[in-house]
Structure 1
């Protein structure tokens, strides 16, 4: 799942599709985080117009079954029509939702006890602890074929790994309903970000009687679903290019839901989306490519920072032999020899910013609310003089005077434009380097990366949950997403410690992450960070308090409203 996501971030973000985004889907770009802490167009007035919103999605809904959904659109819909124990608020903090209060956590960090509030399904029946037990067991059951159940629960919820592998019955999963309103979850190990996971769609409840009664028809259309969130889904036939959200009067917090109706149409072309926006038919539209340059200074343009990071991967082993990129000085030379600010501001020009790190800005925070980024600052920064010194050292160590290396990239116009930028920068700054460009369709690139049949690859990563481990775990020796033969035992030990002995010591845990990030970048230059993604959206000024999230679902409409519309 993660590797597919990483490559798709790379493939389709470079195309800059409107909002074909994903938490881990098959053909999408990364999630978007909010440009301000309290929601897009922070509300300052009261609802004073018809509370009907008209929006655009970049793709149709593949599924709204919380055990099956794996794409951005599905998770966005799910987030607005259903709800789990916790929900991300406008400040992107996970707060109790169906849980009536904060969970009680055992001293060893392995047991979480949740008390449920009085909440109802859209059919008027009570949401109970048993609904969570059924949904989680269904998601981890191999017979269900859930893409995210095993991914999110394995190594986290007790016995999840064994159940997903068919070695244990789903009834042994570490989740028990002590009564209708008391849910107890037992973990495999302490997981500091566990409550963040509780806002994720895979962990939502499902009513067993309803799911069983519908059988294969469950979630096939809006009539074959139950809802416990702010809205209900209507006018979706399971395949169509449009749907409608209606306020859910049975929602436990309905008094704080201001919108009555949200009309959604699928528009895949950015130019069409912008025209609809300018014609007043849509209240929000993404802009990409040349349109991003055109609208960057527009009065209604909003830059949305993203928590996805893009970087160059250096493959150290190919066809059973070490590549020149196994040389640390060669890697450092390349990493320091291209100007990231110009790439972000001129080539991409879409709200992205230069990155000198792997854990993004405004994503992970310590117990005092301090950004993790402040601990390490910038690493492996652009410096042509240092790059030239490293380059000569590397060439001397390899016993050569020149090198030819290939950059594996996509076949979109913007991807090609970016690759040409790398070629120009690297060849200009590193004497004796010749760069070849290999620009291929996504499916071909996936195969090449899987087989480690590449030299340098433009890659990207976006998180599913709020913790540095979401980024740093993929560089551990021999993990699935490494695929570049990088290995450092000290790095591995530090990452392991954040899961074990430091799991309940937040300060020491973050210090371990900071040290590991320096090893990865400053010491080893295992990768070369390029940019932290951003996007530009046009949004009507009367559209207030859109919740924009840096992980999980992209958007929440629970608090949104219309005020000041003329």
Structure 2
């Protein structure tokens, strides 16, 4: 481990030097702070500007800035009207929703945002020809699943623009949290004229999309930078104070910290080693997010992973406390469950996760016991598996730690590490072209179902080759006949999660935390637990604040 860390430090120092020199020679570019500009380092690029084609949080975060749905997540995740003028009219026992749209909402090309844009977008997501990975999130719309499976025509979908500014849709059953779902990225509108103009190229570059949010994309250089500028066609542009948002894609957090030190950026995540360096700095901020990170164990690629005892052994073999304290040190927390703390409350007001009993705690003795059973059942004692992770230095350190823990606790297992760019790692998961992958999931709406549903049989985000009929049935009940019975539904969701954990198709490790250096001049930056991480609509830079002390400057 020391050798790996040392290598990363040297690499980081070299990269940092190059980045600082680049920043100094780029006064009018991405590091320029003239006017109201927020400059942020991100470790991964977004995958697309096409809201029908995205499943990753990096892209959804950018969607928060450049698109706007019927409703949006405001401060403290309180959902507020976006393109909608107010609250929905809910009739037919909670199954029919009618929403009126504001008449002053426009796309960045001047076209009005209409109810037809929502009808078109939702039908496009569910059209099987689109092959949208996230189509299932709309399955509560009338006929949605049948449409997506090619069993019914897309025009039978239960959504209709009654006129330019009235949208009506039908649900299969009343969903108490559906307004929160309408704020999620997959439900965003699309301009039919632009989508059809560019076809398969739609959303692949900044000029092949139009925007109806507070900002629009001016420049997107893949794996390098994303530059947003204020959208002057946005209906509420008076509330938007930033002129520009500059995202710099840097996989090495050492370099991000160096840029912060030279006042070239306003926000960057930092590594565990850097947290100690900045522990007394006013810029250091830690936040815990309701995102679970875990090992996906692909039974389709590795026959040995079909063995339950092998999966349990792997899940129990990793010292998670050492991992979050020594490897991450960024506010992350150990988790033994799948649903992340902070996603939803139980009927008694406590966090849903407090009710879950998990067998996947770090336990060397139990890990060895399960491993011995697995070896006996499989008739072999040597195993080689490949662990996929992102191509960042910190991801490499994480993978090396996991490899060391498994190989030490379970002798005979050899873990090989393969690193891929974020988009490639995700693509390999979606095509099930991997053996083990360090992956994560964050909630899309405030209900345990947002985690548990992705592990149902055949779900496009499952990708593990695992399925369980009883698990599927429990979730079907929780999302159907028990929706109006909070206590019974809660118990059913507990039973489902505990079944999942005992089967262990995934091995939970930690709930994600982030350590940031954030310029104290940055005000009005809203973080979210659901959907994309941030909203920048109300963000501004208060230059009367001293960047070093966080206090008002003295004259």
Query: 1:396-407 counterparts in 2 under 5 A?
Result: 398=377, 403-407=381-385
2:90 to 94, 105, 110: 105
CA contact (8 A) 1:310 1:532 kept: yes
1:510 to 465, 478, 490: 490
C-alpha distance in structure 2 between counterparts of 1:228 and 1:484, whole Å: 37
Partner residue, 1:34: none
Deviation at 1:383, TM superposition (A): 3.5
Partner residue, 1:285: 268
Gaps spanning 5+ residues in structure 1: where? 1-14, 19-48
C-alpha distance in structure 1 between counterparts of 2:320 and 2:458, whole Å: 29
The answer to whether structure 1 residue 491 and structure 2 residue 471 are counterparts is yes
Kindly provide the CA deviation profile for residues 408-466 of structure 1, in whole angstroms up to 9, marking residues without a partner as x.
31376655644554455456556xx4221222354799879967985xx3532313612
Name the TM-score, length of structure 2 as normaliser: 0.76
SS at 2:132 equivalent: coil
Query: 1:212-291 counterparts in 2 under 5 A?
Result: 226-234=210-218, 241-246=225-230, 248=232, 251-257=234-240, 259-268=241-250, 269-288=252-271, 290-291=273-274
SS at 2:76 equivalent: coil
Deviation at 1:545, TM superposition (A): 2.5
Partner residue, 2:116: 130
CA contact (8 A) 1:56 1:282 kept: yes
Deviation at 1:557, TM superposition (A): 0.4
Partner residue, 1:352: 332
Partner residue, 2:79: 94
Name the TM-score, length of structure 1 as normaliser: 0.75
- Change over 3 Å in CA distance of 1:562–1:377 after alignment to 2: farther
Partner residue, 1:55: 40
- Change over 3 Å in CA distance of 1:487–1:79 after alignment to 2: closer
Deviation at 1:340, TM superposition (A): 0.8
C-alpha distance in structure 2 between counterparts of 1:108 and 1:388, whole Å: 53
Gaps spanning 5+ residues in structure 2: where? 1-7, 13-33, 547-555
Query: 1:58-457 counterparts in 2 under 5 A?
Result: 58=43, 63-68=48-53, 72=57, 74-121=59-106, 122=108, 126-142=112-128, 145=130, 147=132, 150-153=135-138, 155-208=139-192, 226-234=210-218, 241-246=225-230, 248=232, 251-257=234-240, 259-268=241-250, 269-288=252-271, 290-291=273-274, 294-295=277-278, 298-313=281-296, 323=304, 326-328=307-309, 331-366=311-346, 370-376=350-356, 380-387=360-367, 394=373, 398=377, 403-410=381-388, 417-422=397-402, 424-426=404-406, 433-442=411-420, 454=435, 457=436
Deviation at 1:129, TM superposition (A): 2.0
Query: 1:13-28 counterparts in 2 under 5 A?
Result: none
C-alpha distance in structure 2 between counterparts of 1:151 and 1:217, whole Å: 23
Kindly provide the CA deviation profile for residues 217-270 of structure 1, in whole angstroms up to 9, marking residues without a partner as x.
97676677554322344466999845232254x54444543x231241434243
SS at 2:382 equivalent: strand
Kindly provide the CA deviation profile for residues 120-150 of structure 1, in whole angstroms up to 9, marking residues without a partner as x.
215666533233223333444455x363563
**What is the alpha-carbon root mean square deviation over aligned residues?**
4.1
C-alpha distance in structure 1 between counterparts of 2:325 and 2:307, whole Å: 31
Which segment drifts farther, 411-420 or 542-551?
411-420
CA contact (8 A) 1:419 1:437 kept: no
- Change over 3 Å in CA distance of 1:202–1:451 after alignment to 2: closer
CA contact (8 A) 1:82 1:227 kept: yes
Deviation at 1:357, TM superposition (A): 0.8
SS at 1:504 equivalent: coil
- Change over 3 Å in CA distance of 1:309–1:561 after alignment to 2: same
C-alpha distance in structure 1 between counterparts of 2:105 and 2:255, whole Å: 40
Deviation at 1:339, TM superposition (A): 1.9
C-alpha distance in structure 1 between counterparts of 2:458 and 2:190, whole Å: 37
CA contact (8 A) 1:450 1:483 kept: yes
Larger relative contact order (Cα-Cα within 8 Å, sequence gap ≥ 6): 1
C-alpha distance in structure 1 between counterparts of 2:476 and 2:189, whole Å: 32
C-alpha distance in structure 1 between counterparts of 2:227 and 2:95, whole Å: 41
SS at 1:440 equivalent: strand
C-alpha distance in structure 2 between counterparts of 1:218 and 1:132, whole Å: 17
